[in-house]
A = this chain, B = another copy of it.
Amino acid sequence: MAPISSHPAAASRIAGLIVAGALLAGTLAHAADAPRPTLSATDVLAQSAPSAWRPVDPENTLYLELATGRVVMELAPAFAPRHVANLKTLVREKYFDGLSIVRAMDDYVVEWEDSEGKRPTQSAATTLPPEFFGDVRAEQPFLRLPDGDVYAPEVGFSGGYPVARDPKTHTRWLTHCYGMLGLGRDNDPTSGFGGSPFVVIGQTRNLDRNDTLIGRVVHGIDLLSTLPRGTGPLGFYEKREQHVPIRSMKVAADVPVAERTEVEVLRTDTPTFLAYVEARRSPPLGWYVQPAGHVDVCTVRVAARLRPKGPVPAAK
């Protein structure tokens, strides 16, 4: 493991500094003359209190079961309620069981669907009004990054997700960062009903506001990111035998407790998260000779981990 800092005062100093300067103001401000953090991002996580994490909700967690293991995805109903509900309906209809991953485009996405277009849906909709973006809502706290962004006027975090906003239109949307789960579509914007889920395995911010993102992989993304790349256009596999079989998709709540993968996600509304972002922005002295001083919203990488064994602590 990376060495844990031996300076216990550091965490409280960093947390205090950032809370005073930024958290209360709702913005993750970066003071250019702030002292360099003494904790790395790894240290911040290692020293974090249990209350800095939240378990994922089994009712909003999907499992993608492959021969190589399980990919765990957290859903974001606050951002795409219709699409989340429809995808869960598809999953519960066993729509994906026995289908395949049909596309793996390097530095882009992995996607699965009914490549033969023969599988009927039962109660799930096959068209849906797009949820590519939505209105800013007061009940969704937004922690803005002051680091700037190439693609959007504002970026930051909300409810554990990377989010962009446009203050002129009062809209917000999930950003296509590594690990995000989206729903592929044809040219018709209403065609992204959920039959072609994809996971981002590269840099795809150009897709922002062009399809509906509905969540994020929180465990097992390497089972997708290491798949052989498709050699056809857009990374589709050219031969049927290259397809990667899907055993099943499941809603975690439908799986017996003993068979679940218990994942927790770093909360994005705590001093711990602020210290984590600051460590990403300006790592401690040591290996780094030229700290970036800035961080890209996608490079923050909201941490997720298997939940430590033992009783779940009471929230503080």
A residues whose Cβ falls under 8 Å from a Cβ of B: 1-2, 42, 106-107, 132, 147-151, 178-179, 186-187, 189, 202-203, 205-206, 208-210, 221-222, 225-229, 233-234, 280, 283, 286-290, 292, 294-296, 298-299, 301
A287 to B1, CA, bound (A): 45
Nearest Cβ on chain B to A84's Cβ, whole angstroms: 21
* Contact status B225-A150, CB under 8 Å: no
Nearest Cβ on chain B to A8's Cβ, whole angstroms: 22
Residues of B within 8 A of A208 (CB): 290, 292
Q: Which of B147, B206, B225 has a CB less than 8 Å from the CB of A299? A: B206
* Contact status A301-B151, CB under 8 Å: no
Q: Report the nearest B residue to A206, measured CB to CB.
A: B292
Q: Which of B132, B222, B229 has a CB less than 8 Å from the CB of A289? A: B132
* Contact status B107-A150, CB under 8 Å: no
Residues of B within 8 A of A106 (CB): 221-222, 225
A227 to B1, CA, bound (A): 22
Q: Report the nearest B residue to A177, measured CB to CB.
A: B203
* Contact status B221-A150, CB under 8 Å: no
- With contacts A178-B203, A202-B178, A203-B178 taken as known, whether A294 is within 8 angstroms of B210 at the C-beta atoms is no
19 contacts between A and B (CB under 8 A): A2-B234, A106-B221, A106-B225, A107-B179, A107-B225, A132-B290, A148-B148, A150-B150, A150-B296, A151-B292, A178-B202, A186-B287, A205-B292, A205-B296, A206-B295, A206-B299, A226-B226, A226-B227, A226-B228
12 extra interface residue pairs, beta carbon distance < 8 Å, beyond A132-B290, A148-B148, A148-B150: A1-B233, A2-B233, A106-B222, A107-B179, A132-B289, A151-B292, A186-B287, A203-B299, A205-B292, A206-B280, A208-B290, A210-B288
Nearest Cβ on chain B to A40's Cβ, whole angstroms: 11
* Contact status B210-A290, CB under 8 Å: yes
